[in-house]
Amino acid sequence: MAEKTVRKLSLIASKGSLDMAYPPLILANAARMSGVEVNVFFTFWGLDIINKKKMDHLNVAMVGNPSMHPSFHIPTWLGAIPGMSAMGTWMMRKEIAKLDFPPVGEFVQLIQDAGAHLYGCKMSMDMMKLTKADLVDGAEVLGAMEFIEMSEGGQIIFV
């Protein structure tokens, strides 16, 4: 009953808001728990998830976020009031903790401990003037083509 072949999953994390940081992390972790090999490519705003200075300060956007209706609908104009984003972020962090999901920084460490490989997109990093030292320890810098090559034979999910 041993595994026939090792499955492989590539995740592309392109969003850096608090709500969109979790799906790639949760999927990466779930795949590792099931013994699937995991590579995660962080590109554009997704780089914030593995940016040491930013990873624990991700926010939820209240304006232009059509899903912002936790128990009642929050109209866009209301979301523009100062403090609304901070409140939304605070509420979401609380809900995430209730489900026993760790904060982003700790979650990134968790999937690394679980054996997931993390890569920062070279082009996005050049654009944002970031270097490998800005990323969490263990994350590598990689070009998109190399990542696609690395993904050969596996499944790719874009978040």
Q: Which residues bind other proteins (CB under 8 A)?
A: 1-3, 26, 29-30, 32-36, 99-102, 110, 113-115
Q: Residue 114 or residue 141: which is nearer to other proteins going by CB?
A: 114
Other beta carbons within 10 angstroms of residue 47's beta carbon come to: 24
Distance CA 55, CA 53 (A): 6
For β-strands 37-42 and 155-158, DSSP reports them as: unpaired
Residue 109: CB minimum distance to other proteins, A? 8
Distance CA 156, CA 3 (A): 21
Q: Residue 44 or residue 101: which is nearer to other proteins going by CB?
A: 101
Q: Which residues contact 129 (CB under 8 A, 6 or more apart)?
A: none
User: Letter for the amino acid at 49?
Assistant: I
Q: Residue 118 or residue 121: which is nearer to other proteins going by CB?
A: 118
Residue 123: CB minimum distance to other proteins, A? 31
Residue 102: CB minimum distance to other proteins, A? 8
Residue 117: CB minimum distance to other proteins, A? 14
Q: Residue 100 or residue 152: which is nearer to other proteins going by CB?
A: 100
**Number of residues that this document lists for the chain:** 159
